[in-house]
Chains A and B, each alone.
Chain A
């Protein structure tokens, strides 16, 4: 007993010192939490969920978000000189550009369980990796459609039905961030000419959506519009939060990825790795199921816990695979063409389609005036090879295309209209 007491007495001071030291260390660790600087354009709903869960998992780090949209983010990387640890955002072009600039460093993460592709769609390239994907499709309001006696549109071509006139939401790719691949999916999927023909036919029924205050899902949920072309997560999140909507992935669809990379000038490399590891982990990937996020995880194992009716791209086997690289390379051209063919000429386009439809009903589809007017309607200012050969797009080209299409639509109206 005496020896036990002696040992206890002997340990008393070292134990006290240890306790004091631990207390000090804990205070210091509170004070000196290392920040992890993440550049993103994700909306607050996404950032908040990941911030909370990451800081809980890694209490030694505090997430500091630098929010910038794609264009501004590139300017920041080129000009600011301030360190950023991780770039994590849906902006595929930026990642390609930054890869060329050798702005990233190797992830050096265990990528076990993360496939390199889904249905032929690459999920990693160079030093950047996809952290989620989103799919394109059609949002509709089943109740409002039923009330109008119309079926739910399931394919892009369904959106050109004359009964949907004035009831379709069509996002403008030069204004709405997610829309360029959406338009190009139709061009690649149906072919250049047929794709533009279909876009014109849909536009004849559509209201255009720009980067203003309303969302496609708002207008469709309210019943003011009946359907729209969109990306899945807006609708999936609205549905999860109670909106009376439905989303369909048409047979021809494609994905838009968000990527993550560790910057070469990362000030906190360990923190950057911890955040990257977290985003790609089972826990991080499951956060994508949150009702306010609803993106598609890139780690197949987490789909075992997916909410009901959640789309699993790893179980989908589409006949068509969207070529993202090709889409990105010609994005500026297709955006400008969309504006020339549709955005800036919408009233003329809609009038031309109506006039041709009326003439066709009256005189038959093979009547010479109808054939001639259709020919004018569908004559594009440039073919696919010509569009892809353009190195630098000039404002004069855009103005010329716009004028050409305007004149063709007006001529089509004149030819198709009764004299």
Chain B
């Protein structure tokens, strides 16, 4: 009981801690509308606020294929997945998977690679398709092809008799315009993750993550950091963003998505996304060198850094409090950490020295063969995935009714997502399966309250 109380008090008070300035920093928002993921932290200086708004415009912008008169928003493609960030991250929320092979991938993409590693440790891109399948091409440039998700459904019965249908996706391709994919191609279908709270995650010190890695954990849970190549720092660093913690910073994540998903070059990705053997793509007109100037990239970066996180709700509800206890008892909190401290963060001072409740440890965990994509990414192996943050997850369906869960959006509900947990999380999944229906509902109530 004492632990529930202390958790509740911590959750209720942890966000009004003073930042470095005089004004208390508010890194969470009480907004529970469909705009809950689009609110700014406070305080922001006038300059930061202006950058935030400019960044918001760019994140909402539909980009144009070159050549164009509106040159500052041109440069889309020539190969691309979508023409706007919010096409996948609708209202800054998570994406979703198609419900069948006939549906287009609208908030999801497919990563491609060949076995092995590049000199930086990154996956080896396919010479004709690169590291991602782009389903659209500018006029005159052939799109790479289409990916289709086929599902095989199974039924799981839980204690109490409740049955849950789980769908396991299989990828197929059609219309491959640059030749067939080899038999050893490695693929990974991934939905767009939510983009709020990223600044707070970046403000967690490397030492904190290394301490979490070293910390003893219950059962078979381990957890380790991914070591990735930072283009900006030109060295191996700890990864923390992306489904496999395969990107180091919000800026690199943003530049990588602009290049990979929309073909927009920046100083970090000066060549866009044309693969080695895509001659027409390489010769297509560009709107600038790079297409995204450093100022625009900085604005988009700041926008994401400064997006607040929804406050937990219904924390006084006894069912939610009971659910919080069950969350710990089922060892969910061993990876989905309810409390981490950020360190000094000069880029945006308000994010520094905050005690936050992200419900992630940013570490890689082996989630078992059922979730494995068999595609290594830097030091992450196929079955390893970064613990996704759970903060704000209860509003996911309100923001985007189709929102999916897990890396490939196979889970349509939070319960389905739990039932896919394997490997290090197998024990937790079993505990949830064995819970009484009432306890299981309270657990879900707690997660939905975040």
Given contacts A30-B101, A31-B174, contact A65 B83 (CB under 8 A): yes
**Stretch from A67-75, A122-130, A249-257, A293-301 that touches the partner:** A67-75
The answer on a CB contact under 8 Å between B31 and A82 is: no
Considering only CB atoms, which chain A residue lies closest to B70 in the complex? Answer: A72
B381 contacts chain A at the CB level, 8 A cutoff: no
Q: Is the interface of B mostly helix, strand, loop or mixed?
A: loop
Given contacts A44-B87, A48-B87, A213-B54, contact A68 B102 (CB under 8 A): no
A52 contacts chain B at the CB level, 8 A cutoff: yes
B102 contacts across to A, CB distance below 8 A: 30, 59
Considering only CB atoms, which chain A residue lies closest to B58 in the complex? Answer: A213
Considering only CB atoms, which chain A residue lies closest to B54 in the complex? Answer: A213
Considering only CB atoms, which chain B residue lies closest to A59 in the complex? Answer: B102
Instruction: Looking at the assembled complex, report how far the CB atom of B410 sits from the nearest CB atom of chain A, in whole angstroms.
Output: 19
The answer on a CB contact under 8 Å between A213 and B53 is: yes
B33 contacts chain A at the CB level, 8 A cutoff: yes
The answer on a CB contact under 8 Å between B63 and A242 is: no
Instruction: Looking at the assembled complex, report how far the CB atom of B150 sits from the nearest CB atom of chain A, in whole angstroms.
Output: 10
A214 contacts chain B at the CB level, 8 A cutoff: yes
Instruction: Looking at the assembled complex, report how far the CB atom of A77 sits from the nearest CB atom of chain B, in whole angstroms.
Output: 12
Q: Which of these, A47, A214, A242, contacts B31 with CB under 8 Å?
A: A242
A27 contacts chain B at the CB level, 8 A cutoff: yes
Instruction: Looking at the assembled complex, report how far the CB atom of A9 sits from the nearest CB atom of chain B, in whole angstroms.
Output: 32
A17 contacts chain B at the CB level, 8 A cutoff: no
The answer on a CB contact under 8 Å between A33 and B146 is: yes
Q: Is the interface of A mostly helix, strand, loop or mixed?
A: mixed
B236 contacts across to A, CB distance below 8 A: none
Given contacts A44-B60, A44-B62, A213-B50, contact A71 B70 (CB under 8 A): yes
How many chain B residues sit at the interface, stated as a range, is: 35 or more
B369 contacts chain A at the CB level, 8 A cutoff: no
B31 contacts across to A, CB distance below 8 A: 242
Bound form: Cα–Cα A305–B390 in Å: 36
Instruction: Looking at the assembled complex, report how far the CB atom of B71 sits from the nearest CB atom of chain A, in whole angstroms.
Output: 10
Considering only CB atoms, which chain B residue lies closest to A42 in the complex? Answer: B62
The 8 A CB mask of A35-60 against B (1 = contact, 0 = none) is: 00100010111011001100110010
CB under 8 Å from chain B, chain A span 64-90: 64-69, 71-72, 75-76, 80, 82-83
A68 contacts across to B, CB distance below 8 A: 64, 68, 70
A67 contacts across to B, CB distance below 8 A: 62-64, 76, 83
Given contacts A30-B148, A213-B53, A291-B34, contact A72 B101 (CB under 8 A): no
A108 contacts chain B at the CB level, 8 A cutoff: no
How many chain A residues sit at the interface, stated as a range, is: 35 or more
Considering only CB atoms, which chain B residue lies closest to A32 in the complex? Answer: B175
The answer on a CB contact under 8 Å between B90 and A66 is: no
Instruction: Looking at the assembled complex, report how far the CB atom of B304 sits from the nearest CB atom of chain A, in whole angstroms.
Output: 15
B56 contacts across to A, CB distance below 8 A: 213
B69 contacts chain A at the CB level, 8 A cutoff: yes
A82 contacts across to B, CB distance below 8 A: 139-140
Q: Which of these, B34, B69, B84, B90, contacts A241 with CB under 8 Å?
A: B34
Bound form: Cα–Cα A212–B54 in Å: 8
Considering only CB atoms, which chain B residue lies closest to A29 in the complex? Answer: B102
Q: Which of these, A27, A65, A80, A242, contacts B35 with CB under 8 Å?
A: A242
Could you list which residues of chain A lie within 8 angstroms of chain B, going by C-beta atoms? 27, 30-33, 37, 41, 43-45, 47-48, 51-52, 55-56, 59, 62, 64-69, 71-72, 75-76, 80, 82-83, 212-214, 218, 241-243, 291-292
Could you list which residues of chain B lie within 8 angstroms of chain A, going by C-beta atoms? 31-35, 50, 53-54, 56-57, 60, 62-65, 68-70, 76, 83-84, 86-87, 90, 101-104, 106, 136, 139-140, 146, 148, 174-175
Q: What 3 A-B pairs have minimum CB-CB distances, sorted nearest first?
A: A242-B33, A31-B174, A213-B53
Apart from A31-B146, A48-B106, A242-B33, list 14 A-B contacts with CB within 8 A. A32-B175, A37-B139, A41-B62, A43-B60, A48-B87, A55-B104, A66-B139, A67-B64, A71-B69, A82-B140, A213-B54, A242-B34, A243-B33, A292-B34
Q: List 28 A-B contacts (CB under 8 A).
A: A30-B102, A30-B146, A30-B148, A31-B175, A37-B139, A43-B62, A44-B86, A48-B87, A51-B104, A51-B106, A59-B102, A59-B103, A65-B62, A66-B65, A66-B139, A68-B64, A71-B69, A71-B70, A72-B68, A75-B68, A83-B139, A213-B54, A213-B56, A213-B57, A214-B53, A241-B33, A241-B34, A241-B35
